[in-house]
């Protein structure tokens, strides 16, 4: 395996990544101790959350100079426990990519490599059978070819979407989609200049905005700290320009969507670091494994990086670990990874965040003619009908939070312009009666109203 022959990046970028943001995000790390016999330590596995059965499914990977073809489930309830599932009847491999297809209740695994070459097959693990069963999926005549890559589920079109990666022996910049209902592969050919070919990037789907987001990666010469968006409805690449101090360039990190808070969570990887001497002057340090954690806030007119300042002793420095979001307990799970030669691990960590509810700042009585006002809401099927007032067409966002502090709705409304408005705000929860907090934010000004929804 090739390892980290990466050129230096600008010190200014390092300082931005090393300096805590003024709006650090609070969190808490905790190491978990699952029952059962754990899998051997490993890196670069294929991993999905099987939410219907409240478990994480892990296939393959590389550890301690061995390529694995075994399959494991980390059961999340009623007890955290490792359970071994049937081994795959395929060669051991790592650097695969995987998605969960919830409609057909299967885990799909594509690509990867072992010491003798790369794979281009598409494998399926049935999750609704006991025991789960492995099979090979027919791909048709037009295929992406053998590679290591990253993929997401495009839920609106039922597609397996993959972009970038590495094939023998060059870095890739292409993008492909596989129709989950049997129509085969299509090369997407997105419009606009896109990311430079790379591997070791991380990807997540932002379903509410119909896009795939890609961060970081390397071409074995450079690291990147870019965030790219791939429009899934009309394929086109867009380079995002988040505000705030950013993570340093890296690869081998992982990235997941926290839908409750409308943001991405990023952790770890391998890349440049910056170290302060006794006088407080920063200098470029050798490349190293990383264990810093960040969020990319997606709400608002411009994405914003914020560093996570977590309590508790967190995971050791590592790259190519597994990471999933557990919506039931609103936590990030980090599993295994690589901290150096023969330093692959099988530990399990959780990262949790405080519940958040904005303080109530109801518009004062008689403020219907005020510049910014939040009037009220009533439930409609699958949504809230919210009334408010804006002073102009500047950027503004309307949000809803449930009583647990989870963001259950978000909508940009500034383009509606000045005046009184009523909109339908889609809810990402069960839509049950109860208390909700509404927030209307415009620049540094906001209004928050607590509303009780009745049947």
Q: Give the tens place of pLDDT for each residue, 354-406.
A: 877 777 877 765 555 568 899 889 888 888 999 999 999 889 999 888 877 77
Name the fold adopted by 11-352.
Neuraminidase (2.120.10)
What per-residue confidence (pLDDT) applies to 322? 98
Confidence of residue 280 (pLDDT cuts 50, 70, 90): low
pLDDT of residue 69: 98
Number of neighbours of residue 137 by Cβ within 10 angstroms: 16
Which pLDDT does position 407 carry in this prediction?
Answer: 79
- Evaluate if residue 21 carries a pLDDT over 50: no
Structure confidence at residue 370 (pLDDT): 60
Architecture (CATH level 2) of domain 367-453: Sandwich (2.60)
For residue 193, pLDDT beyond 80: yes
Please report, rounded to a whole number, the percentage of residues in the chain having pLDDT higher than 70. Answer: 91
CA-CA distances (angstroms) from residue 374 to 317, 431, 454? 46, 21, 19
What the block records as the tokens of 86 is: 């049937």
What average pLDDT score do residues 166-174 get?
96
Report, as an integer, the average pLDDT of 395-419: 86
Query: For 313-323, what is the mean pLDDT?
Result: 97
Contacting residues for 132 by C-beta, under 8 A, at least 6 apart: 57, 71, 85, 86, 125, 126
Predicted local confidence at residue 275, as pLDDT: 65
**What's the pLDDT score for residue 348?**
98
Beta strands in 277-429 (DSSP E): 282-297, 304-311, 322-326, 331-338, 344-352, 373-380, 383-390, 397-402, 407-412, 419-426
Phi, psi of 15 (to 5 degrees): -65, -40
What whole-number distance in Å separates Cα of residue 332 and Cα of residue 335?
Answer: 10
| Percent of the chain whose predicted confidence (pLDDT) is above 90 | 70
Residue 17's pLDDT band (boundaries 50, 70, 90)? very low
Average pLDDT of every residue of the chain: 89
The pLDDT of residue 27 is above 60: yes
CA distances from 243 to 17, 247, 305 (A): 12, 11, 6
Q: Above 90 in pLDDT, residue 189?
A: yes
CA atoms of 128 and 130, how far apart (whole Å):
7
DSSP code at position 13: H
Q: Where in the chain is the domain with CATH 2.120.10.80?
A: 11-352
Rounded to whole angstroms, how far apart are CA atoms 72 and 120?
22
Q: Is the pLDDT of residue 51 over 50?
A: yes
Listed in order, the ranges of the chain carrying CATH 2.60.40.2550 are 367-453
């Amino acid at each position: 395996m090739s390892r980290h022959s990466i050129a230096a990046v600008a010190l200014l970028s390092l300082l931005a990544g090393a300096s805590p943001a003024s709006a650090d995000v609070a969190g808490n790390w905790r190491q978990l101790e699952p029952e059962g016999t754990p899998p051997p330590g490993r890196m670069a596995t294929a991993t999905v959350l099987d939410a219907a059965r409240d478990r994480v499914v892990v296939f393959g990977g590389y550890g301690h100079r061995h390529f694995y073809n075994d399959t494991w489930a980390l059961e999340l309830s009623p007890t955290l426990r490792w359970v071994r599932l049937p081994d795959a009847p395929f060669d051991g491999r790592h650097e695969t990519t995987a998605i969960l297809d919830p409609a057909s209740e299967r885990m799909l695994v594509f690509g990867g490599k072992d010491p003798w070459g790369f794979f281009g097959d598409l494998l399926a693990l049935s999750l609704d059978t006991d025991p789960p069963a492995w099979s090979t999926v027919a791909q048709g005549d037009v295929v992406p070819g053998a590679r290591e890559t990253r993929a997401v589920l495009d839920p609106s079109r039922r597609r397996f979407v993959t972009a970038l990666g590495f094939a023998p022996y060059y870095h890739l910049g292409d993008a492909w989609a596989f129709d989950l209902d049997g129509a085969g592969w299509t090369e997407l050919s997105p419009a606009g200049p896109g990311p430079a070919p790379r591997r070791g990037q991380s990807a997540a789907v932002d379903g509410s905005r119909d896009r795939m987001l890609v961060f970081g990666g390397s071409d074995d010469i450079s690291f990147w700290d870019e965030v790219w968006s791939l429009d899934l409805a009309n394929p086109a690449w867009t380079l995002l320009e988040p505000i705030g101090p950013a993570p340093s360039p890296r690869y081998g990190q992982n990235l997941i969507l926290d839908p409750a808070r409308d943001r991405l969570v990023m952790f770890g990887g391998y890349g440049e670091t910056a170290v302060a001497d006794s006088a407080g002057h920063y200098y470029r340090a050798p490349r190293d494994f990383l264990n810093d954690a960040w969020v990319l806030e997606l709400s608002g007119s411009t994405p914003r990086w914020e560093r996570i300042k977590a309590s508790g002793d967190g995971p050791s420095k590592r790259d190519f670990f597994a990471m999933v979001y557990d919506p039931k307990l609103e936590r990030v799970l980090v599993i295994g990874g690589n901290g150096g030669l023969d330093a692959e691990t099988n530990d399990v960590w959780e990262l949790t965040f405080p519940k958040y509810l904005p303080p109530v700042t109801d518009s004062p009585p008689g403020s219907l003619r005020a510049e910014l006002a939040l009037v009220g809401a009533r439930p409609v099927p699958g949504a809230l009908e919210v009334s408010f007032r804006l002073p102009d067409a500047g950027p503004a966002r309307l949000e809803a939070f449930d009583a647990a502090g989870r963001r259950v709705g978000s909508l940009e409304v500034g383009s509606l312009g000045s005046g009184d408005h009523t909109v339908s705000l889609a809810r990402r929860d069960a839509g049950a009666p109860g208390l909700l907090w509404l927030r209307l934010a415009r620049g540094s000004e906001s209004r928050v109203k607590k509303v009780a929804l009745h049947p």
